[in-house]
């Protein structure tokens, strides 16, 4: 099985088992690698905009000489939460959920990061 297939399998499991409606592994430059998205959702748009948000936070932090952020969280109240987590120098994990609260989604994101890093290292 290819790395993309293995990553997609993990993202599909997040949707079916964890209540995460949108998930993706993307490059830091904004290209989608693997994703689980609702029908009609563009992987390219999710990847580009998520990478922009994450990259902007890195610019802000490094501009002050601070360590780059490992995650960025955006809350939209009742409309859900977006979490992006660094997967190393070249990739980002993106998770969105309307059903999980911020704390629960953050916990799932941390667990998913560990699993996905393992998949990426084994390929």
pLDDT 10s digits, 15-52: 988 889 999 999 999 999 999 999 999 999 999 999 99
Distance between CA 112 and CA 117 in Å, rounded? 8
pTM of the model: 0.93
Would you kindly state where each structural domain of the chain is located, as residue ranges? 3-122
Q: How far is CA 103 from the centre of its chain?
A: 15
The CATH H-level (homologous superfamily) assignment of domain 3-122 is Dynein light chain 2a, cytoplasmic (3.30.450.30)
Helices and strands per DSSP (H, E), number in the chain:
3, 5
Confidence band, pLDDT 50/70/90 cuts, at residue 123: low
Question: By C-alpha distance, which of 108, 110, 92, 96 is closest to 33?
Answer: 92
Q: Which residues, listed in sequence order, are joined to residue 83 by a DSSP beta bridge?
A: 73, 95
């Amino acid at each position: 099985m290819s790395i993309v297939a293995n990553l997609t399998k993990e993202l599909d499991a997040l949707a079916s088992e964890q209540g995460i409606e949108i998930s993706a592994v993307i490059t830091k430059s904004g290209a989608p690698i693997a994703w689980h998205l609702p029908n009609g959702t563009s992987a390219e748009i999710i990847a580009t905009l998520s990478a922009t948000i994450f990259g902007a936070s890195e610019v802000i932090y490094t501009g002050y000489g601070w360590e780059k952020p490992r995650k960025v969280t955006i809350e939209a109240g009742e409309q859900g939460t977006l979490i992006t987590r660094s997967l190393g120098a070249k990739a980002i994990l993106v998770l969105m959920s309307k059903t999980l609260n911020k704390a629960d989604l953050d916990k799932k994101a941390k667990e998913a990061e560990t699993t996905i890093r393992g998949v990426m290292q084994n390929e």
